[in-house]
Amino acid sequence: MKVTGASLATAVVTGASLATAVVAGCLGDDDDETAADTGDDGTDTDAGSNGIEIEAGTEIVFDGYTHHWAGLEPDAIAGDENPTLILEEGGEYTMEWINADGVTHDLQIWDESDDVVDDLATDSINEEGDSDSLEFTAESEMVTYVCSYHVGTQVGDLVVE
Protein backbone atom coordinates (compact mmCIF):
# COMPACT_ATOMS: atom_id res chain seq x y z
CA MET A 1 0.00 0.00 0.00
CA LYS A 2 1.35 3.38 -1.01
CA VAL A 3 1.02 6.19 1.56
CA THR A 4 0.59 9.63 0.03
CA GLY A 5 1.23 12.96 1.69
CA ALA A 6 -2.49 13.69 1.80
CA SER A 7 -3.40 10.38 3.51
CA LEU A 8 -0.54 10.80 5.99
CA ALA A 9 -1.70 14.33 6.83
CA THR A 10 -5.28 13.11 7.29
CA ALA A 11 -4.08 10.35 9.64
CA VAL A 12 -2.02 12.79 11.71
CA VAL A 13 -4.91 15.29 12.05
CA THR A 14 -7.38 12.51 12.91
CA GLY A 15 -5.00 11.07 15.52
CA ALA A 16 -4.39 14.48 17.08
CA SER A 17 -8.15 15.16 17.26
CA LEU A 18 -8.78 11.80 18.89
CA ALA A 19 -6.00 12.32 21.44
CA THR A 20 -7.40 15.76 22.33
CA ALA A 21 -10.88 14.29 22.84
CA VAL A 22 -9.55 11.50 25.06
CA VAL A 23 -7.47 13.87 27.21
CA ALA A 24 -10.38 16.31 27.52
CA GLY A 25 -12.63 13.49 28.70
CA CYS A 26 -10.09 12.40 31.31
CA LEU A 27 -9.42 15.89 32.59
CA GLY A 28 -13.05 17.03 32.60
CA ASP A 29 -14.78 18.55 35.63
CA ASP A 30 -15.90 15.82 38.02
CA ASP A 31 -18.85 17.65 39.55
CA ASP A 32 -21.34 15.12 38.19
CA GLU A 33 -22.43 13.93 41.67
CA THR A 34 -26.11 13.23 42.01
CA ALA A 35 -28.26 13.78 45.07
CA ALA A 36 -27.95 10.05 45.78
CA ASP A 37 -24.15 10.38 46.02
CA THR A 38 -24.15 13.03 48.74
CA GLY A 39 -26.09 13.62 51.91
CA ASP A 40 -27.87 16.89 52.71
CA ASP A 41 -24.67 18.16 54.30
CA GLY A 42 -22.58 17.17 51.26
CA THR A 43 -20.95 14.16 52.90
CA ASP A 44 -20.29 11.10 50.77
CA THR A 45 -22.95 8.46 51.24
CA ASP A 46 -21.33 5.79 49.04
CA ALA A 47 -21.57 2.50 50.91
CA GLY A 48 -18.15 1.34 49.76
CA SER A 49 -16.24 4.23 51.29
CA ASN A 50 -17.77 4.68 54.74
CA GLY A 51 -19.70 1.54 55.49
CA ILE A 52 -23.30 0.86 56.36
CA GLU A 53 -24.54 1.04 59.94
CA ILE A 54 -26.36 -2.12 60.95
CA GLU A 55 -28.58 -1.99 64.03
CA ALA A 56 -28.12 -4.62 66.72
CA GLY A 57 -30.58 -7.50 66.33
CA THR A 58 -30.45 -7.31 62.54
CA GLU A 59 -30.06 -10.43 60.41
CA ILE A 60 -27.42 -9.84 57.73
CA VAL A 61 -27.76 -12.05 54.65
CA PHE A 62 -25.35 -12.56 51.73
CA ASP A 63 -25.21 -14.63 48.59
CA GLY A 64 -21.79 -16.26 48.38
CA TYR A 65 -20.03 -16.08 45.02
CA THR A 66 -16.38 -16.89 44.28
CA HIS A 67 -15.67 -13.23 43.48
CA HIS A 68 -17.65 -11.50 46.25
CA TRP A 69 -20.29 -11.54 48.95
CA ALA A 70 -23.50 -10.06 47.51
CA GLY A 71 -25.62 -8.22 50.06
CA LEU A 72 -29.26 -9.36 50.28
CA GLU A 73 -30.50 -8.13 53.68
CA PRO A 74 -31.03 -5.68 55.23
CA ASP A 75 -32.17 -3.44 52.36
CA ALA A 76 -29.28 -1.03 53.05
CA ILE A 77 -26.78 -3.62 51.70
CA ALA A 78 -28.97 -5.17 48.99
CA GLY A 79 -26.96 -5.41 45.78
CA ASP A 80 -23.68 -4.27 47.36
CA GLU A 81 -20.55 -6.36 46.87
CA ASN A 82 -18.48 -6.98 50.02
CA PRO A 83 -20.09 -4.07 51.87
CA THR A 84 -18.33 -2.58 54.89
CA LEU A 85 -20.59 -3.21 57.89
CA ILE A 86 -20.61 -0.90 60.89
CA LEU A 87 -21.81 -2.86 63.93
CA GLU A 88 -22.67 -1.75 67.46
CA GLU A 89 -20.18 -3.07 70.01
CA GLY A 90 -21.99 -5.53 72.29
CA GLY A 91 -24.86 -5.85 69.81
CA GLU A 92 -26.21 -9.28 68.87
CA TYR A 93 -26.19 -10.17 65.15
CA THR A 94 -26.95 -13.06 62.85
CA MET A 95 -24.94 -13.32 59.64
CA GLU A 96 -26.30 -15.83 57.12
CA TRP A 97 -24.91 -16.74 53.73
CA ILE A 98 -26.34 -18.73 50.85
CA ASN A 99 -24.18 -20.64 48.39
CA ALA A 100 -25.08 -18.95 45.09
CA ASP A 101 -22.68 -20.67 42.69
CA GLY A 102 -22.16 -24.28 43.80
CA VAL A 103 -18.50 -23.69 44.67
CA THR A 104 -17.15 -24.50 48.15
CA HIS A 105 -17.47 -21.56 50.56
CA ASP A 106 -17.54 -20.83 54.27
CA LEU A 107 -17.91 -17.68 56.36
CA GLN A 108 -15.43 -16.67 59.03
CA ILE A 109 -14.99 -13.56 61.16
CA TRP A 110 -11.36 -12.55 61.54
CA ASP A 111 -9.36 -10.18 63.71
CA GLU A 112 -6.55 -7.92 62.44
CA SER A 113 -4.10 -10.88 62.53
CA ASP A 114 -6.39 -12.90 60.21
CA ASP A 115 -7.30 -15.27 63.03
CA VAL A 116 -10.84 -16.52 63.54
CA VAL A 117 -12.52 -14.67 66.42
CA ASP A 118 -14.22 -16.86 69.06
CA ASP A 119 -14.56 -19.84 66.69
CA LEU A 120 -16.89 -17.81 64.46
CA ALA A 121 -16.74 -19.95 61.32
CA THR A 122 -19.45 -21.82 59.45
CA ASP A 123 -19.08 -25.23 57.91
CA SER A 124 -17.91 -25.43 54.30
CA ILE A 125 -20.77 -25.76 51.82
CA ASN A 126 -20.53 -26.63 48.13
CA GLU A 127 -24.19 -27.17 47.22
CA GLU A 128 -25.87 -24.26 45.46
CA GLY A 129 -28.82 -23.01 47.51
CA ASP A 130 -27.56 -24.41 50.84
CA SER A 131 -26.92 -21.91 53.62
CA ASP A 132 -25.37 -21.51 57.05
CA SER A 133 -25.22 -18.75 59.63
CA LEU A 134 -23.34 -17.33 62.59
CA GLU A 135 -24.85 -15.73 65.68
CA PHE A 136 -22.47 -13.45 67.54
CA THR A 137 -21.96 -10.46 69.78
CA ALA A 138 -20.03 -7.69 68.00
CA GLU A 139 -16.59 -7.12 69.53
CA SER A 140 -13.98 -4.49 68.67
CA GLU A 141 -11.45 -7.15 67.62
CA MET A 142 -13.67 -8.18 64.66
CA VAL A 143 -12.35 -6.54 61.48
CA THR A 144 -13.24 -8.81 58.54
CA TYR A 145 -15.82 -11.30 57.34
CA VAL A 146 -14.31 -13.65 54.78
CA CYS A 147 -14.59 -16.91 52.87
CA SER A 148 -11.40 -18.81 53.71
CA TYR A 149 -11.41 -20.37 50.21
CA HIS A 150 -11.55 -17.01 48.38
CA VAL A 151 -9.72 -14.62 50.70
CA GLY A 152 -8.63 -12.26 47.93
CA THR A 153 -12.11 -11.61 46.56
CA GLN A 154 -14.77 -12.73 49.02
CA VAL A 155 -13.97 -10.43 51.92
CA GLY A 156 -15.61 -7.44 53.59
CA ASP A 157 -14.66 -5.08 56.39
CA LEU A 158 -16.29 -4.92 59.82
CA VAL A 159 -16.17 -1.76 61.89
CA VAL A 160 -17.33 -2.21 65.48
CA GLU A 161 -18.11 1.01 67.33
Give the domain ranges of the chain: 47-160
Q: Which residues lie below 8 Å from residue 50, measured CB to CB, with a gap of 6+? A: 44, 84
Half-sphere exposure of residue 136, counting CA atoms within 13 Å on the CB side? 26
Q: For residue range 117-132, what is the model confidence (pLDDT) as tens digits?
A: 999 999 999 999 999 9
> At residue 153, what is the residue type?
T
Which segment of 43-47, 62-66, 136-140 scores lowest on mean pLDDT? 43-47
In this prediction, residue 26 carries a pLDDT of 39
**CATH number belonging to the domain at 47-160, selected among 2.60.40.420, 3.40.630.30, 3.40.50.300, 3.40.50.970:** 2.60.40.420
CA dist., res. 62 & res. 74, Å (int)? 10
Q: Given a cut of 70, is residue 29 above it in pLDDT?
A: no
Residue 133: how many CA atoms within 13 Å on its side-chain side? 11
Look at 133 and 42; give whichever has higher pLDDT: 133
- pLDDT for 35-60, tens place per residue? 333 333 332 334 445 899 999 999 99
In percent, the amount of the chain with pLDDT more than 70 equals 70
By mean pLDDT, which of 16-20, 41-45, 103-107, 144-148 is the weakest?
A: 41-45
- Does the pTM exceed 0.75? no
CA distance 11 to 23: 18
- Residue 149 carries which side chain, given as an amino acid letter? Y
Distance CA 49, CA 62 (A): 19
